[in-house]
Amino acid sequence: MQITLSELREGTRQRADMTFDSDAIDDLEVNGYVQDAWEEVHELVTANDEARRFTINATKLPPIGDHSFQLPEDYDRLVSLHVLRNNAYIPGLPADPSRYAELADNWDDYNAPRYFVRENPSTGTASVFVFPAPTTDTLALTYWPRPKQLSLDSDYLGIPRSWAEFIQVAGGIRLLDRVERDASALLLAKQQIQKRIIKSVQASDFNSPRMIRDVSYRYGYGGYRW
């Protein structure tokens, strides 16, 4: 389902029974609770290996240097990396970034590819280093996207209904905590929804289609299709 920030915010207020409450809390503050709750359910889902059908596949990453490639703007965490050799994709193995010089000088095509990721906190960008150096056409990776930032009322998420319920309930709990009211009923509801989400994720079919993104021409956040 698709649900907008405006709808999530209204649902959050309704869950907390504060639609017309005298303890006025502005929309901007409630938006923050919605974002926090969205990030919470995103972390809940991505902590399960069975949820890999929600990952994104990317190819043709923009090269930065001989061994490095720019990761997509919505990159959060790398799941796997493969390099095409002799018409077959070879899985890469994680490497120690401190071994850069050794990997660059001594690794040859007879060894399994090695890789590591470097992130730049000041710019919020990340790059992957691969040894031996592949071409952009032979590199394929799977990654978790970071949670979408919601700021405009029209911003939306394409998520299962249970996730939307979780966001509204978890946001409602934060809202009640803010005005120091009892949130025990919502806490119980949150636990029940969380169990449903985990059960659904663990029952996921690994053969179900994933989103595949060619980032050579479409680079950046494009929205989930879950």
Q: So what's the pLDDT on residue 16? A: 93
pLDDT digits (tens, 9 = 90+) for 109-146: 557 899 999 999 888 899 999 998 888 788 999 999 99
Could you tell me if residue 187 is inside a domain? yes
Distance CA 133, CA 67 (A): 5
Could you tell me if residue 215 is inside a domain? no
Residue corresponding to tokens 């120091």: 180
Both 132 and 160 in one domain: the answer is no
**Residues contacting 187, CB < 8 A, separation 6+:** 173
Please state the pTM of the whole predicted model: 0.77
Q: How far apart are the first and last CA of the chain?
A: 8
Both 157 and 130 in one domain: the answer is no
The CA-CA-CA angle for residues 123, 158, 25, to 5°, reads 75
Short-list 156, 174, 151, CA closest to 18: 174
The CA-CA-CA angle for residues 144, 146, 147, to 5°, reads 125
Could you tell me if residue 196 is inside a domain? yes
Distance CA 16, CA 37 (A): 14
Both 75 and 123 in one domain: the answer is yes
Could you tell me if residue 25 is inside a domain? yes
3-class state of residue 120 by DSSP: strand
Q: So what's the pLDDT on residue 224? A: 35
Could you tell me if residue 210 is inside a domain? no
Distance CA 138, CA 88 (A): 10
**Residues 14-39, mean pLDDT to the nearest whole number:** 87
Q: Of 32-46, 70-84, 92-106, where does mean pLDDT reach its minimum?
A: 92-106
Q: What number of other Cβ atoms are within 10 A of residue 216's Cβ?
A: 13
Distance CA 225, CA 187 (A): 29
Could you tell me if residue 221 is inside a domain? no
Domain that holds residue 74: 55-146
94: phi then psi, degrees, rounded to nearest 5: -60, 145
Both 45 and 63 in one domain: the answer is no
- Residue percentage of the chain with pLDDT more than 90: 63
Both 38 and 81 in one domain: the answer is no
Looking at the DSSP bridge assignments, the partners of residue 211 are: 56
Count the domains in the chain: 2
pLDDT digits (tens, 9 = 90+) for 141-155: 999 999 999 999 999
Both 69 and 129 in one domain: the answer is yes
Could you tell me if residue 41 is inside a domain? yes
Distance CA 151, CA 155 (A): 7
Could you tell me if residue 209 is inside a domain? no
Q: So what's the pLDDT on residue 178? A: 92
**Is the pLDDT reported for residue 196 higher than 90?**
yes
- Residue percentage of the chain with pLDDT more than 70: 85
Both 142 and 187 in one domain: the answer is no
The CA-CA-CA angle for residues 76, 58, 47, to 5°, reads 35
